[in-house]
Amino acid sequence: MTQTTEKAGLRASSLAARKSLSPGQRRDFSDRIMHTLMDYLSQHVAQPHALMAYHALPSEVDTSTLFALSGHHVFAPVTLHHQHMEWRLISSSTVWQPGLFGILEPQTGRLWQGDEPAVLLCPLTAFDRAGNRLGMGKGCFDYWLAGARGKLTKVIGLAFSCQEVASIPFEVHDVPMDVVITEQEVIECRAR
């Protein structure tokens, strides 16, 4: 089996597991994950830090509460093409519109230039305990993360526990996550 075929199989089974959660379970689990995330940030990340947060798809961990946080500069991605993302500062006046892949993106806001420390929150399709991740297969986060990793204090994946798999094949250029937060636990990822 090729690595591409193996990743496709893992992605399909993990997406099916995620989609099998009821709307009530997703709400409850997302609330738990957001609460745990805020506790984790207050204990493990010195202030001030930019928080790089994605706008969730309906079946993903709901991140909407992050965009109303005070005390953090919260940025959201704008995907210009599959190899280029930029991050815009969110405010109460942010206008959201569907972007390249139909995901809501901010249309205005100061760009993050990499000159302030930041914590990246990654959307996940699947993950393993070594910090390897699968996204939706477009490579947007992977390309951006490969270039920005040195500017990030932490890379934190947000996922439901049903998205965990035993092992995800990785390539040399893949950047592992430091932590994964699920509704059940905080997973400090072990080194590869």
Which domain CATH number covers 13? 3.40.50.10420
3-state SS class at 89:
strand
Please give the pLDDT value at position 131. Answer: 94
- pTM for this predicted structure: 0.92
- Which band of pLDDT confidence, cut at 50, 70 and 90, is reported for residue 163? very high
Q: Tell me which residue of 139, 66, 57 sits closest to 98, measured CA to CA.
A: 57
Please give the pLDDT value at position 82. Answer: 63
Res 43 pLDDT > 80: yes
For the segment 166-172, the average pLDDT, to the nearest whole number, is: 87
Average pLDDT, the chain: 89
Please give the pLDDT value at position 136. Answer: 72
Q: Which of 14-23, 71-80, 129-138 has the highest mean pLDDT?
A: 14-23
For 145, what's the count of Cα atoms within 13 Å in the CB-facing half-sphere? 24
Please give the pLDDT value at position 89. Answer: 95
Q: Tell me which residue of 151, 147, 139, 146 sits closest to 173, measured CA to CA.
A: 146
Q: Which residue has the higher pLDDT, 110 or 173?
A: 110
Q: Comparing 124-128, 141-145, 183-187, which segment has the lowest mean pLDDT?
A: 141-145
User: What phi and psi, each to the nearest 5 degrees, are found at residue 105?
Assistant: -135, 150
Radius of gyration, alpha carbons of the chain? 16
For the segment 79-93, the average pLDDT, to the nearest whole number, is: 85
Res 70 pLDDT > 90: no
Domain limits for position 95 = 3-188
Q: Which residues pair with 126 in a beta bridge?
A: 134
For 58, what's the count of Cα atoms within 13 Å in the CB-facing half-sphere? 6
3-state SS class at 33:
helix
Domain count, the chain: 1
Res 172 pLDDT > 70: yes
